[in-house]
Amino acid sequence: MKTRFILIQTSHAGNVGAAARAMKTMGFDDLVLVAPRWPNVLRKEETIQRASGALDVLENARIVATLDEALDGISHLCATAMTPRDFGPPTRTPRTHFDSLLKNQLPALDGRALEADSAMNHGPEAGVAFLFGSERFGMANEDVYRCHVALSIPTNPGFGSLNLGAAVQVIAYEWRQALGGFGVPESAPQGERADAAQLAGMLAHWEQALAAIGFLDPAAPKKLMPRLNQLFNRAQLTQEEIHILRGVAKSMLQAARPNR
């Protein structure tokens, strides 16, 4: 599904870079700026620094004069507004709305968004856009009214103000998760597991070393070695780890018999 992030009247260059970085980490690259404060914001040093490797997103970004120009090919508009508007679209959390959207459970487009509905393409390539307002004023009422939903990120009731870049990151993450997310890289192979004979040999080596340093009394060993045996069984040691432990035992023996 086509996904677009639209920043309206952005006033801080660094936030544009931060938004580009947030988008790229979640696999999105369609960024449109509507009437930003700085006409050359995509080339400003602060923007580039905050993008931190997402320069391709900045290079592909577009600057337009009006919101209408930013909506080409978009059929579903999501405002980001913490405060519900009178006569505005319904307010939902991102996760709830995305779940309903992808399961085709949303009702027909809300009558209050007919203006946006009539202005946009509803073909098979139509997509979704996330609209973010100015850092200073948020989204204008008329822009919120055009949207089908107002997304509200659940935050601390006592302090719910999110930086623009952080808000883009949260929305991008939630949308990516709704679309299926990315897999977590598997850890590196742990090495070949030690067999019973290797474990027994290591334990015998340790028994010698522990006796040599006085930690184990061979005349009254009690249950030390069976307990160590269980401990190492739970650890599921690899062959490399067996070699390390035998090296420790060897060093203990050498330390206990310095003149031999």
Threshold 0.85, pTM exceeds: no
User: Which neighbouring-strand residues pair with 5?
Assistant: 31, 130
pLDDT reported for residue 234 = 94
pLDDT of residue 122: 42
Token digits of residue 230: 């269980």
Q: Are 169 and 213 in contact (CB under 8 A)?
A: no
pLDDT of residue 85: 64
| CA–CA dist 31, 144 (Å, integer) | 19
The answer to whether 168 and 43 have CB atoms below 8 angstroms apart is no
Between the two ends of the chain, the Cα-to-Cα distance in Å is: 75
CA 230 to chain centre: 39
Query: SS3 of 136, please?
Result: coil
Q: What is the pLDDT of residue 160?
A: 79
Q: Which domains does the chain have, with CATH numbers?
A: 2-107+126-179 (3.40.1280.10), 196-256 (1.10.8)
pLDDT of amino acid 84: 64
Positive or negative, the CA dihedral 203, 217, 252, 228 is positive
Angle between helix 164-178 and 13-25 (nearest 10):
20
Identify the H or E element spanning 92: strand 91-92
**Which pLDDT belongs to residue 132?**
96
CA–CA distances in Å: residue 57 to residues 27, 169, 199: 10, 14, 54
Would you give the distance in Å from CA 87 to the centre of its chain?
34
The distance from CA 124 to its chain's CA centroid, rounded to whole angstroms, is 29
Q: What is the DSSP string of 205-230?
A: HHHHHHHHTTSS-TTS-TTHHHHHHH
Per-residue model confidence (pLDDT) at position 159: 86
Q: Output the tens digit of pLDDT for each of the chain's 260 residues.
A: 799 999 999 999 999 999 999 999 999 999 999 999 988 999 999 999 999 989 999 999 999 999 999 999 899 999 997 666 666 799 999 999 999 888 875 543 343 343 444 444 444 456 999 999 998 888 888 999 999 999 999 988 888 788 999 999 999 999 999 999 898 877 777 789 999 999 999 999 999 999 999 999 988 888 999 999 999 999 999 999 999 999 999 999 999 886 55
Give the pLDDT score at 71.
94
Helix (H) or strand (E) holding 32: strand 31-34
